[in-house]
Structure 1
């Protein structure tokens, strides 16, 4: 699993035939209704398989102008992500996507082909028919059988399987070659500011980030993923740049809807979203599930000033009262995490981190960016 910790991206010759097909499928815009959108359009390899723009939500659909509903996450470091479950304490954990509804990379790959605001195919049969006309259709037959296109449901499952294998086998999806990885391997030192940021990251009295984003090696020396796969309700501000929010009755409730439906009656989970990996977070251009912030410093400032200075983040009503947690219906605002640091402070108290400490934290988080080059 970790043999390529310091390796470079793999070549097609190193991948299985199914994974090689997955690479072609991943980059094939002809599989979309518009003919212009591929998986790589939103999951750009040059940006850690995340978007390369500052749009809160990406555009797609048959005309390329349909807006999404959530920020597009990175596809890196999903290979060790466990399926969704409730742990021994009854807390939700695992799964892929912001609401954890996909149990595998293959399952995750299904929806973008069909979602009206993404690749916008009318059916799985339509996806298969498009692939039948692709230059690599014959290779698809060689790998999955001459009669595969006569079984469109099976063919679609093979498409998503190929995408899964590409993500599992291609080392570029799990490089483990950041400066921090090299630091853990005793190959390079961290600068003083980076070390201060790491200490603040781990300190439960300061950032307390490691409570959900563990920074130490895991079982059998596994490199840290900087996520514990848990879910949290942070009460981030409503993002009016998402067209769907023009409807005052629209709310994205994460685990309990609207995309995920099996937990809709579990009111205590409404507003909770998956804790993402922080690897490559410094390359991100929008933050949180709704992309409400467009820089890392503001995302960190929100964490430590949400409760001490709520007027900086939330609008006021007609009477001048700050509408805290305004992206949740009133009945679910009590679900927001206000017990764990740094969210356990009250208005008027000092934030857990100073401006200078936030700057150090940003410098540490930059050490989690893949592809660090050791200076000679």
Structure 2
């Protein structure tokens, strides 16, 4: 179903990975990762780093890009310790984001513009719904989002930038009159943020235990190896009883033919029927439809039936650094990797344990989608292709092994196991 996009995306990502060092120079030959290289930033990227870390560019001077994309969380959301919150509070101190802040690490390798192939399969783009075509475009969004940095308009952002301690650096790079045209200056802000994410090795370290394993510099434990095997076991057309994780169908885990290291995403979209998270969705009449509601010209040009078939689909995220996250899926419904994998393998066998109403009572299956779109949910690929009375694709022990493997994908490994949100 996703084959045509996978070929295009894999080829494009491999080219960039090769150009950028591909996580240490390719095949397991002992080459070092990009974090061991001394990489200087261009003036544009250095400026982008200052913008990225500057809270003064928000409504109340208290939130920067780095506030929701924290380095020691794999550049994903920090998430509040308050259990009543599933997403982060905006600069106004009141508004909660509607979606979990995704990791922005390794996004430089997502180089295919958002599009839909002849089979109606979408891929590419940025954000959970693909509404931004480039890293630069994605960087603009939070400044103006009322639930995030909450600036009233572009002119407000640029006025704050003009008062920043590094304003003279911005003028030196783009001209003394740069702030006279707020929209043009805002475009340069976005390009600077993009340059920072593309050039800084902190966004592409390839320094996990699994990367070391691929280089022949580390050994995986017995549990991690079992988890890897389960992760990589694809659906069998001849013997469904052998079907296990099938995770690799959307999260490729192997070294590319050119030696590029895996990104653990195929950049596609899928409708998983994630349960409603009542900590985020307080209005029962509102639904986050994801891809079909991203507002792009590509989506808006589709006929009604084709567009409707995309409702409920969200971007397949990279699983790199997934063990550092504290909320999973676009709505933060689950808070541990064990719960996530359990949902994958038991969703259709025992839905009542996942689909609950606002009072924590059993609710209808796929309750975070309107009835008209529940048929879009993926029920044909493993491990979903089961029903009540069937055995799940993975046992509790096998789930634990898969989680052990996922914990090897955290960057910064130096010989000892790292903390993991099991």
TM-score by length of 2: 0.84
Q: CA deviation at 1:261?
A: 7.6
The 1-side partners of 2:116 and 2:348 are apart by 29
2 CA distance for matches of 1:88 and 1:357? 37
Matched, 1:287 2:287: no
Aligned with 2:59 (options 24, 30, 33): 33
Number of equivalences: 370
Mapping of 1:147-226 within 5 angstroms?
A: 147-204=177-234, 205-226=243-264
Are the aligned partners of 1:254 and 1:260 in contact in 2 as well (CA < 8 Å)?
no
Q: Distance in 1 between matches of 2:104 and 2:130?
A: 14
Cα distance in 1 for partners of 2:181, 2:401 equals 56
User: Paired residue for 1:253, among 281, 289, 311?
Assistant: 289
- Cα contact 1:9–1:171 (8 A) shared by 2: no
Deviations 1:308-338 (A, max 9, x none): 11111113799x9751000000011011000
Secondary structure (helix, strand or coil) at the match of 2:109 reads coil
Query: What is the 5 A alignment of 1:102-141?
Result: 102-141=132-171
**CA offset at residue 87 of structure 1?**
2.8
Q: Does 1:71 align with 2:96?
A: no
- Report the Cα distance in structure 2 between the residues aligned to 1:334 and 1:4, rounded to whole angstroms: 39
Residue 46 of structure 1 corresponds to 72
Note if contact 1:9-1:172 (Cα within 8 Å) is conserved in structure 2: no
Cα offset for 1:7?
Answer: 3.5
Over the residues paired in the alignment, what is the CA RMSD in angstroms? 2.0
Moved more, 127-136 or 42-51: 42-51
CA gap 1:322/1:58 in 2 versus in 1, 3 angstroms? closer
**Alpha-carbon offset, residue 221 of structure 1:** 1.5
- In 2: Cα distance, 1:301 partner to 1:43 partner: 27
Q: How far did 1:207 drift?
A: 0.7
Q: Which runs of 5+ in 1 are unaligned?
A: none
Moved more, 262-271 or 123-132: 262-271
Is the CA contact (8 Å cut-off) linking 1:10 and 1:170 kept in structure 2? no
Q: How far, CA to CA, are the matches of 2:124 and 2:248 in structure 1?
A: 17
- CA drift at 1:129: 0.7
Give 1:90 deviation, angstroms. Answer: 2.9
User: What does residue 351 of structure 1 align with?
Assistant: 392
- The Cα shift of 1:154 comes to 1.0
| Native 8 Å contact 1:213 1:225 kept in 2 | yes
Q: Find the partner of 1:236 among 274, 280, 305.
A: 274
- Distance in 2 between residues matched to 1:374 and 1:317, nearest whole Å: 44
Distance across 1 between alignment mates of 2:37 and 2:87: 30
Aligned-pair CA distance for 1:80: 0.8
Q: Distance in 2 between matches of 1:4 and 1:194?
A: 21
Give the C-alpha shift of residue 255 in structure 1. Answer: 0.6
Query: Structure 1 residues 128, 140: CA separation in 2 closer, same or farther (over 3 Å shift)?
Result: same
User: Are 2:197 and 2:203, in contact at CA under 8 Å, matched by a contact in 1?
Assistant: yes
**SS of the residue 1:33 aligns to:** coil
SS at match of 1:367: helix
Query: 1:96-152 deviations in whole A, cap 9, x for unaligned?
Result: 110011111100011100010011111111111100000000001111112211121
Question: Structure 1 residues 273 and 153, CA, compared in 2 at 3 Å: closer, same or farther?
Answer: same
1:9 Cα shift?
Answer: 7.6
